[in-house]
Amino acid sequence: MNLAQTVFGAEFQNPVLLASGTAGYGRELDGVVELDALGGIVTKAVTLEPRSGNPPLRAAEYWAGMLNSIGLANVGLDAFRAGKLPWLRQRLRHARILVNVAGSTVADYVGVVDGLDGEDGFVGYELNVSCPNVKEGGAAFCARADLLAEVVGAVRRRTARPLVVKLAPNLPDMAATARVAVDAGADGLTLINTFPGLLFDVDDRRAVLGAGTGGVSGPGVLPMGVYSVWRASQAVDVPIIGVGGIRSGDDAVQYLLAGADLVQIGTATFGDPRAAERVLNELRRYGRRHRIDHVRELVGAGTVHGGNH
């Protein structure tokens, strides 16, 4: 199966990317996984100023996945531009790079993009407008159509690079929100971010995470992610990146059948740093087993009986 395709005006050698926040800035997994054999990497979030993030405990496992509240901890724009991006640019010759951008205000997003747009070595931006792990900004941009249109439109006016907007899963109408993002200038969508969640230590009755609530990810969210991609793909005609709960090649195929062009591996990487390579190899075997010539044959090929839910 030919896995290469042109998405966002760039050639992706395969559809398997590492998700933002799960592989740092790439160097953290270098030598463990062959980064340049993947389709790409989405960097850890970049904000205008450095962020120390939320207090510990920041991550906790549960039977169906993980609850985390990192709080967008990152080195900030200046350190990313001076050290992280040059390393990625030098190290990756084939894997494509998307820079995840986050902020608390519209000006924050614009500032990061203004600060990076003159640099080379990356394809475009993934706008994180849906993180549930910060008290300000984050999910608010995606929960309100006017704020979503404002932030996407503001960034759109500052760059000609592809803009991929990462949406929350817990929206009243995924199709309508997808249309708002695309109408405001999004070139693509990433679906989904984590679900808001809360767990307690049943012995001391305190929240297990230092920040209290966090984001739910892992195998348990797979059907919700696939559903969100399917709904959005019916509403807009832009590339979609599917993410949430992927642990195997078959999981990746689920997203492709729903309408995703690319997929991201996130939580699985914590348990198995080579998960993305394994998913890629299993995807190849799926293609051989089903005698598929090109991965594009799978995109949107799933059949859903009974109409919309």
Residues of the domain holding 252? 5-50+75-195+218-297
Condensed to tens digits (0 to 9), the pLDDT of residues 290-309 reads 999 999 999 999 999 875 55
Q: Helix (H, G, I), strand (E, B), or coil: what is residue 168?
A: coil
d(CA 70, CA 168): 17
pLDDT attached to residue 225: 98
Does residue 142 have an active-site annotation? no
Residues with pLDDT less than 50, the chain: 137
pLDDT for residue 141: 80
- Asked if 190 contacts 243 with a C-beta cutoff of 8 angstroms, the reply is yes
Domain presence at residue 107: yes
Phi, psi of 172 (to 5 degrees): -60, -35
**pLDDT for position 148:** 93
Identified catalytic residue from 123, 131, 174, 260: 131
In DSSP terms, 273 is beta-bridged to: none
Instruction: Output the CA angle 51-54-58, nearest 5 degrees.
Output: 125
Is there a contact between 189 and 129 (Cβ–Cβ < 8 Å)? no
Per residue in 111-150, pLDDT tens?
999 999 999 999 999 999 976 555 554 566 888 899 999 9
Instruction: Copy the structure tokens of residue 74.
Output: 């990152």
Q: Are 210 and 31 in contact (CB under 8 A)?
A: no
What's the CA gap between 186 and 224, in Å, rounded? 22
Residue 286 has a pLDDT of 98
Structure token digits, residue 220:
């348990």
Number of domains in the chain: 1
* pLDDT at site 139: 60
Structure confidence at residue 305 (pLDDT):
87
Domain containing residue 254: CATH number:
3.20.20.70
Secondary element (H or E) of residue 208 = none
Considering the domain boundaries, does residue 26 fall inside one?
Answer: yes
By CB atoms closer than 10 A (0-12, 13-18, 19+), residue 181 is buried
Residue 128 is assigned to a structural domain of this protein: yes
Question: pTM for this one?
Answer: 0.96
Strand, helix or coil for residue 232: helix
Domain for residue 33, yes or no? yes
Q: Is 262 within a domain? A: yes
Q: CA–CA separation, 263 vs 244, rounded Å?
A: 9
The CA distance from 237 to 239, in Å, is 7
Whole-angstrom distance, CA of residue 202 vs CA of residue 249: 36
